[in-house]
Amino acid sequence: MDCRHNLRALHTFETVSRHLSVAAAAEELGVTQSAVSHQLRLLGEIVGERLIQKNGRGIALTEAGRDLARRLQPAFAEIDRSLAEAIGGTRDRVRLAICSSFAQAWLVPRLHSFYAAHPEIDLQIMMYAQDPELADATGDAFVTTLPKDRGYHAQLLWPERLVPVVSSIAAGRKKGFGYITTELQPGKTGADWQTYARQSGRADLVPLDGRWLFASHYVIALDMVRQNLGAALVPDFLAEPEIEAGSLVLLHDFRLPTHEDYHLCIKESRRSEPALDALLRWFKQELGKSDRLPPKEPLRLVQP
């Protein structure tokens, strides 16, 4: 197959593979949906494989389609970067994939300094619920707790340590409060609190009746705490501003390490790109600041 004579079909498929939507691909390419469908049929005939199949009301990639997409997406991303460099583009785009808790509590409060220092960079922040695949097709830089992919530079940003917090209102209730767990797997319910109780020596930090409130993510658990629904174990950086403000209180000052620390990951082969180098240097600069060190005054503790 001479791809130079079938570049349109390859480009069309690559666009569809990112959106998993013919309509969205047509909008990006500026053509009709029928034109997109025609190019997909043409490419399927050329490669002799079925690349796309129906999936309910939508579409999905076949195994052959997924394999081709994994190869095409970074290739077209590289073409876009090369074209931008060749025509002397004045702006850079960086796609930063980041988990919701770290984005909300650590990154967003600092963004004003990044925008001020790098007005030439369009930083696209993309939040995810589960650690994404580290690949050019997904993002240009990643904040992840699983920095194990070969070929990636991993800069430690913050060690994850959990602290037990409850709202000041719930803490003052005579009847006490409930416990919120983020461990939802069968057989592991409440394992986060049980580990904390064991390592902190506070066996009382587990409900005697075995009843739990459930949240799949730390940000949800913290919102439940704010609504006076109970106590939760959340990362220290997520809770510290409200602890210092007095709206949240600590049940105990032990910080439980999860060993799922946050890292900024950038592909080694791309570290010299000006925009990615600027992002890495900015993160290192922010890490050198002391605004997230433990507060000078002792944090208020409350006994459950």
Asked if 84 and 99 count as a contact pair (C-beta separation under 8 A), the reply is no
Examine the pLDDT at 170 and tell me if it is beyond 80: yes
Q: Where are the beta strands (DSSP E) in the chain?
A: 52-55, 58-61, 92-99, 121-128, 141-144, 152-158, 161-167, 178-181, 213-214, 230-235, 248-250, 256-257, 262-267
Rounded to the nearest 10°, the torsion over CA 217, 223, 224, 226 is 150
Examine the pLDDT at 85 and tell me if it is beyond 70: no
Question: What pLDDT, on the 0 to 100 scale, is given for residue 147?
Answer: 73
First to last CA, the chain: 70
Average pLDDT of the segment spanning 84-107: 76
Question: What pLDDT, on the 0 to 100 scale, is given for residue 32?
Answer: 92
Question: Which residue, 166, 177, 165, is CA-closest to 207?
Answer: 177
Bridge partners of residue 98, in order along the sequence = 127, 143
Asked if 139 and 132 count as a contact pair (C-beta separation under 8 A), the reply is yes
Examine the pLDDT at 90 and tell me if it is beyond 60: no
Predicted structure pTM score: 0.63
Q: What percent of the chain has pLDDT over 70?
A: 88
Asked if 167 and 250 count as a contact pair (C-beta separation under 8 A), the reply is no
Asked if 240 and 292 count as a contact pair (C-beta separation under 8 A), the reply is yes
Measure the CA angle with vertex 180, ends 174 and 184; round to 5°. Answer: 155
The tokens describing 234, both together, are: 């959340």
Instruction: Give the pLDDT band of residue 172 (cuts 50, 70, 90).
Output: confident
pLDDT tens digits for range 173-196: 877 788 999 998 888 889 999 999
10 Å Cβ neighbour count for 169? 13
Question: What pLDDT, on the 0 to 100 scale, is given for residue 88?
Answer: 46
Average pLDDT of the segment spanning 197-219: 88
d(CA 230, CA 291): 28
Bridge partners of residue 92, in order along the sequence = 121
The DSSP bridge pattern shows strands 213-214 and 256-257 to be: unpaired
Q: How many residues does the chain have?
A: 304
- Candidate from 67-71, 78-82, 157-161 with smallest mean pLDDT: 78-82
Task: For 66-90, give one letter per residue: b (16+ CB within 10 A) or e.
Answer: eebbeebbeebbeeebeeeeeeeee
- 245: which residues sit within 8 A by CB, 6+ positions away? none
Question: Which residue, 244, 142, 225, is CA-closest to 182?
Answer: 225
Domains in the chain: ranges and CATH: 3-86 (1.10.10.10), 92-158+260-287 (3.40.190.10), 161-257 (3.40.190.290)
Instruction: Give the pLDDT band of residue 91 (cuts 50, 70, 90).
Output: low
Q: How many CA atoms lie within 13 A of 101 on its CB side?
A: 26
pLDDT tens digits for range 101-111: 888 889 999 99
pLDDT tens digits for range 235-291: 999 999 999 999 999 999 999 999 889 999 998 888 888 899 999 999 999 988 744
In the 8-state DSSP scheme, what is residue 30? T
Examine the pLDDT at 228 and tell me if it is beyond 60: yes
pLDDT tens digits for range 128-161: 866 667 777 778 899 988 777 778 889 998 899 9
Question: What pLDDT, on the 0 to 100 scale, is given for residue 235?
Answer: 94
- 77: which residues sit within 8 A by CB, 6+ positions away? 136, 137
The tokens describing 270, both together, are: 């791309």
